[in-house]
């Protein structure tokens, strides 16, 4: 009888661990909005925000924020031709300025997870008052994508941050302004 009780306890413990792991992984959601032109895995259901319109600029944001991680994917469409290199430079600078963050590292790269890649991109790491983070900016025609993931202070979110960044894909060919 004691052997069966131990087996039952062990089985219950294993089931509890399995259910916890399933619940944790079930929180991750693939976000792939048809008008966003991307797909990515985020640590929860994303909230959508359409930022106030500016002349010749349309920005949409998908974000998830919990006690451990902040994740954001922004898509900005320009109604004008943009210089890819300048856009990458300004996106890093503007993000750090608006976030109050400090740049830790930056790497220029080409992004190949796109139907018409490779595309110009930059990855950078930063810290701000809330914790350490990573970002990826990709320019596709006259559209800029930015993925931002930040771990809250006290949480080692390196694996989660890498999961979000590495899951990001562009699903539509480059968008090019047609002019008026």
For residue 19, pLDDT beyond 70: no
- Tokens describing residue 25: 């992984």
Predicted confidence band of residue 8 (pLDDT cuts 50, 70, 90): very low
Q: What are the chain's domains? A: 28-170 (3.40.1000.10)
Helix (H) / strand (E) containing 22: helix 2-26
Q: Where are the beta strands (DSSP E) in 18-101?
A: 29-31, 38-42, 47-50, 57-65, 69-78
Q: Give me 83's structure tokens.
A: 């210089």
Q: Is 180 or 139 the better-scoring residue by pLDDT?
A: 139
Dist CA 120 CA 138 (whole Å): 6
Q: Are strands 47-50 and 57-65 parallel, antiparallel or unpaired?
A: antiparallel
pLDDT digits (tens, 9 = 90+) for 26-73: 499 999 998 899 999 999 999 999 998 788 899 999 999 999 999 999
- 115 is written with which tokens? 């139907």
Predicted TM-score of the model (pTM)? 0.83
pLDDT digits (tens, 9 = 90+) for 68-127: 999 999 999 999 899 999 999 999 999 999 999 999 999 999 999 999 889 999 999 999
- For residue 15, pLDDT beyond 80: no
DSSP 110: E
Tell me if the bond preceding 118 is cis, omega within 30° of 0.
yes
């Amino acid at each position: 009888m004691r052997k069966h009780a131990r087996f039952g306890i062990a089985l219950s413990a294993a089931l509890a661990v399995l259910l916890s792991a399933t619940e944790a992984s079930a929180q991750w959601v693939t976000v792939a909005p048809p008008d966003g032109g991307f797909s990515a895995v985020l640590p929860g259901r994303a909230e959508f925000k359409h930022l106030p319109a500016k002349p010749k600029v349309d920005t949409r944001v998908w974000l998830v924020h919990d006690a451990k991680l902040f994740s954001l994917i922004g898509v900005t469409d320009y109604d004008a031709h943009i210089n890819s290199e300048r856009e990458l430079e300004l996106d890093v600078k503007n993000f750090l300025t608006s976030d109050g963050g400090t740049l830790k590292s930056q790497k220029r790269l080409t992004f190949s997870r796109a139907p018409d890649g490779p595309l110009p991109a930059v990855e950078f790491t930063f810290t701000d008052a809330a914790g350490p983070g990573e970002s990826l900016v990709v320019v596709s025609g006259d559209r800029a994508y930015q993925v931002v993931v930040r771990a809250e202070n006290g949480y080692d979110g390196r694996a989660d941050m890498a999961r979000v960044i590495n899951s990001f894909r562009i699903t539509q060919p480059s968008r090019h302004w047609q002019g008026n």
